[in-house]
Amino acid sequence: MPQPAPRPERPFTLGEVFDDEGALSWQERALCAQTDPEAFFPEKGGSTREAKRVCVSCEVRAECLEYALAHDERFGIWGGLSERERRKLKRRAI
């Protein structure tokens, strides 16, 4: 099993996340790839409304959320959920 990459000093943008083959096919279809990435990584206390509105209609929302949960993403909106919402979801799953 491959080891996780070291954590960057800044959060990845969605366009910078790659798997062993060099790309994520679901990511190429993600609506966020056509949107300002700043919306998905708001400042602390900033609004997540714009990012979540994009996620609601995204065809790869489930894949995005699955990726974030599997890779313990700690920053940003992934699959329509904030970091706090993803933590709650993981706690309920245990």
The answer to whether the annotation marks 32 as part of a ligand binding site is: yes
Domains of the chain, residue spans: 17-93
Q: Is 2 annotated as a binding residue?
A: no
What lies within 8 Å, CB to CB, of 24 at 6+ separation is 17, 18, 67
- Residue 26 confidence (pLDDT): 86
10 is in an annotated binding site: no
As a residue count, the chain comes to 94
Residue 78 in 3-state DSSP? strand
Q: Assess whether pLDDT exceeds 60 at residue 91.
A: yes
Q: Which parts of the chain fold into alpha helices (H)?
A: 25-28, 49-56, 61-70, 83-93
pLDDT for the residue numbered 92: 87
The residues facing 78 across adjacent strands are: 81
- The reported pLDDT for the residue numbered 21 is 52
Residue 57 is classified by DSSP as T
What per-residue confidence (pLDDT) applies to 60? 95
Q: Is the pLDDT of residue 6 over 50?
A: no
- Give the predicted TM-score (pTM) of the model: 0.71
Number of H helices, E strands in the chain: 4, 0
* 44 among annotated binding-site residues: no
